[in-house]
Amino acid sequence: MKSVRGSFSLSTLCVAFACALLGVMSIQTARAQAAPPPIGNWLNVNKTNGLVVEQNGVCGFLVNGKAKWSGTCTWETPSAKGGILDLTYPMPLQPGHIRWSVIWVNQTTVTLDGEAFYKQAN
């Protein structure tokens, strides 16, 4: 009769190794840092649209140098490359929301829903 014990312990060893490998991978994934919110003054390439995000959460979106929306911003679902910037502004019946997908290109460039914005000196 053929022994099943040898193959059982090998498959158990393989499963244990796979679980350990997944555990190491999940620990490394947990160490990835989330991208910070885009604090600062930002302008698009034509300098027609601007975004201002202050450290305290006050923010605004400008069109041709005039405030189109202003209120408070929250940084949602951050990942290693970006997140969602939610601007909440006052409206008569309930607060309005504008949400942009923000992706960091480098330290001085972000995209808001695909449009490039460049950080301005303070």
For the beta carbon of residue 82, count every other beta carbon within 10 angstroms. Answer: 23
How do residues 85-107 score in pLDDT, each as one tens digit? 999 999 999 999 999 999 999 99
Cα-only R_g, the chain: 24
Collapse the DSSP code of 56 into the 3-class scheme (helix H, G, I; strand E, B; otherwise coil) and give the result: coil
118 against 12, higher pLDDT: 118
Residues in the chain: 122
User: Can you give the CATH number for the domain in which 93 is found?
Assistant: 2.40.128.290
Beta strands in the chain (DSSP E): 40-44, 49-53, 58-63, 66-76, 82-89, 96-106, 109-112, 115-119
20: domain range?
1-31
Q: Are residues 60 and 20 in the same domain?
A: no
Residue 14 has a pLDDT of 39
Collapse the DSSP code of 53 into the 3-class scheme (helix H, G, I; strand E, B; otherwise coil) and give the result: strand
